[in-house]
Structure 1
Amino acid sequence: DGLFNRFDATLRNAGYLPMSGQILDATLVAAPKQRNTNAEKADLREGRMPEDWQDKPSKLSHKDRHARWTLKFTRAKRQDDGTMPSSDLAIPFFGYKSHVSIDRKYRFIRKWKTTHAAASDGARLREGLLDKTNTASSVWADTAYRSKANEDFMEKQGFVSKVHRKKPHLKPMPRHIQKSNAGKSVIRSRVEHVFADQKSQT
């Protein structure tokens, strides 16, 4: 906290005041894949250290006990014959998630959190990701952050939700919601530049 406060003071003195609202999102960060037995995987999922690792410090030093598997959904690409697959792709992914809240105007990361890759994006909103020093109250995020718990939390904390609305189940998306989401996407896309810059430096 002390380091962040000094950094924050430096930004403020330079005129970079967080005053345009904030954008929340998460990105996956890959970790080296582990060759664990089914029993070892079960122990790790339950938060236990596999028994035969405890007496083998050299083996333990090469094991990542916190990364997890998840599915990374990717939009299906058009086929050579011009047709589109019936569904998007689900690709297994092993690693972590980087959850961030950035200032809308300057795109500085103001709050951050790291979890294993299988952690829910939406639940992190209530775990300290929102920046109360931002003088504007609007919060932009994708549909993963849309829940009654999050909406209630933001309202009680004095934030104004600009979170994307989800498509109604088995119904077409209302036209006015489509337009609203499209406008939010233009703003929310700024966080993708932050993630791209991070990944270009790794």
Structure 2
Amino acid sequence: MIEELFEKFESYLRSHGLEARGGQIIDATLVPVPRQRNSREDNKEIKENRMPEGLEENPNRLRQRDLDARWIKKNGINRYGYKNNICIDVEHGLIRRYAVTPANIHNSQMLPMLLDPENTNDYVWADSAYAGECFENLLNLGGF
């Protein structure tokens, strides 16, 4: 449903002349969720995208489990959750593109999905997670 609502909002912005311009800011934010108290065996199953044994038969217990969030170590601290990856239009300050991933997915992997080819300015601001020759090549291919 979020995809449909986001697209309707984007259509509304376009119909009112709010085109993406002024460049784009790419960033990701960690979103913590309650830590899971899984056994080692359960964690192994979850990492292999399998349902831990016994959860399917117990829907109440399953509702309390987050099987998609992942661990990441940032600044020496272990964190559990997701990342909100966004592309913000510099001129209007609006989020034009987004992607939600488990926390263990590196920010740089989302760059192709986040870049807005309709932005009329070719400036892209991003932190060091998006640095390197392969990202410069990707930006050049996209005309940024």
**1:96 correspondence with 2:70:** no
TM-score (norm 2): 0.89
Instruction: Name the residue aligned to 1:151.
Output: 136
Question: Counterpart amino acid of 2:132?
Answer: S
Instruction: Name the residue aligned to 2:119.
Output: 134
Which structure 1 segments of 5+ residues have no match? 74-89, 160-202
Q: Secondary structure at the match of 1:52?
A: coil
Q: Which one of the candidate residues 12, 15, 18 is aligned to 1:16?
A: 18
Question: Counterpart amino acid of 2:107?
Answer: D
- Structure 1 residues 60 and 6 mapped into 2: Cα distance closer, same or farther (>3 Å)? closer
Which structure 2 segments of 5+ residues have no match? none
Q: Which one of the candidate residues 68, 71, 86 is aligned to 1:69?
A: 71
Give the aligned CA root-mean-square deviation in angstroms: 1.6
Provide Cα deviations, 1:116-166, integer angstroms capped at 9, x if missing partner: 11110011102x11111111111110110113322212211111xxxxxxx
Q: Which runs of 4+ in 1 moved over 4 A?
A: none
Counterpart Cα distance in 2 of 1:49 and 1:154? 39
- Structure 1 residues 93 and 7 mapped into 2: Cα distance closer, same or farther (>3 Å)? same
Instruction: Name the residue aligned to 1:180.
Output: none
Offset of 1:12 from its aligned partner?
3.6
Q: Secondary structure at the match of 1:10?
A: helix
| Number of residues of Structure 1 aligned to a counterpart in Structure 2 | 142
Q: Secondary structure at the match of 2:72?
A: strand
Larger radius of gyration: 1
Q: Secondary structure at the match of 2:97?
A: strand
**1:125 correspondence with 2:111:** yes
Counterpart Cα distance in 2 of 1:31 and 1:110? 25
Counterpart Cα distance in 1 of 2:128 and 2:142? 20
Counterpart Cα distance in 1 of 2:134 and 2:49? 27
Instruction: Name the residue aligned to 1:85.
Output: none
Instruction: Name the residue aligned to 1:33.
Output: 35
Offset of 1:15 from its aligned partner?
4.4
Instruction: Name the residue aligned to 2:95.
Output: 109
Higher relative contact order (CA 8 A, sep 6+): 2
- Point out the more displaced range, 96-105 or 149-158: 149-158
Provide Cα deviations, 1:81-117, integer angstroms capped at 9, x if missing partner: xxxxxxxxx1111111000000012210000000111
